[in-house]
Structure 1
Amino acid sequence: MWLDTLVHVSKVEGAIEENVIVKMLEGIEADGKLQPLVVLEILSRSSTLKVAAVKDYVIRWLDAQKKQIESDRKAIAEGERRVEEIDKQMESLKFNVQVLQVNKCSACDTALQLPAVHFLCRHSYHVHCFESYSDKPDVCPACVGPMSRETSRESISDKAAYQMFHKELNGAVNGLDVISKYIRSGVFDSSRRNAQKK
């Protein structure tokens, strides 16, 4: 609807009241379905439209872009800080001695006796407790809960993921946000999907 209105306004030969243009631009901005550059491109075809009519619209758009850029910069800085922390932790785990001072079994909560099984997540178990609580020999039973939720979310079938992706994409105001979310989660990563199927 707004696109047709814009095209019509850009073709009008006579003078158009500035407040009509301002109200139209406010409606387009509130709707959020047309990108400001598209709006400006269409309105630039008008031979009678004055820049003053779109000035406030452009200023609001530029302010919003500036805020988004600042928000993105903060998110990037936070991400870099977290990556740096994780790198330090990984380096510490690789090259430094890990002192395990756990004195109670994480399963039965009694005093830890040898032989014992220790994990880098700082959980420790009696061998017999570990064998009875764990399905996998290389995974901490206390940590398997959160990890299994992640795994089950990732092991969604391709068809279900495709349907969910299309449903979210069709309902989204900004489709690029949905696409980037799915790319980050690895849905488009064929090597990961193939590894899951094996």
Structure 2
Amino acid sequence: MEFINSILGHLINFIEHIITLMGPLGISLLMAVESCNIPLPSEAILPFAGYIVSKGEMNFHVAAFAGAFGCVLGSIPSYYLGYFGGRKFVEKYGKYFLISHKDLEEADKWVEKYGDWAFFLCRMLPVVRTFISLPAGILRAKKRIFFTLTFLGSLVWSYLLVYVGVKMGENMEAFKHIWHKFDIAIVIIFGILGALYVYKHVKHLKES
């Protein structure tokens, strides 16, 4: 538990440092990393941006738009990887990015059920939001539609999480007496979910 606490503590400190140092550009870069199929949780990035907003050091709308722009930016390489590589390439090499065949099937189900709107909806869902760009590329989704819906879905998600951060920042005094326990709980939850996600995909990699 201490190891997980330490790792995620460093991750959170890194996120806070980047946003504090670079402002909206830092938010965009961090969100772009998440959209490149790298497990850097937006649930940790955007609420801290909201906290910065609550201190009057950043505009609320700028923070949200920076998050959405970063999501679109990060989805570009994933989209074209699927577009030019095709399903066989992604199924063969996607495991090296912790993307399994089941992940692609899950994304396929969303696209089959909701069509292009899946690109909007999936941007507001944990985990699947990070790799929905791959099947979009594989299916040769129209670029203008895909990137527009990606931006809009990411914008809703960004506004929501930034708002959460703003409210927590505005009520920091009320949160102080439970903040440490809350922080530990978040670290444990992220640690367990992250460990299970990595374990499942590493196991799949070894089996294949």
Provide TM-score, normalisation by structure 2: 0.27
Which one has a larger percent helix, Structure 1 or Structure 2?
2
Structure whose alpha-carbon radius of gyration is higher:
1
Provide TM-score, normalisation by structure 1: 0.28
Which of structures 1 and 2 has the larger relative contact order (alpha carbons within 8 angstroms, sep 6+)?
Answer: 2
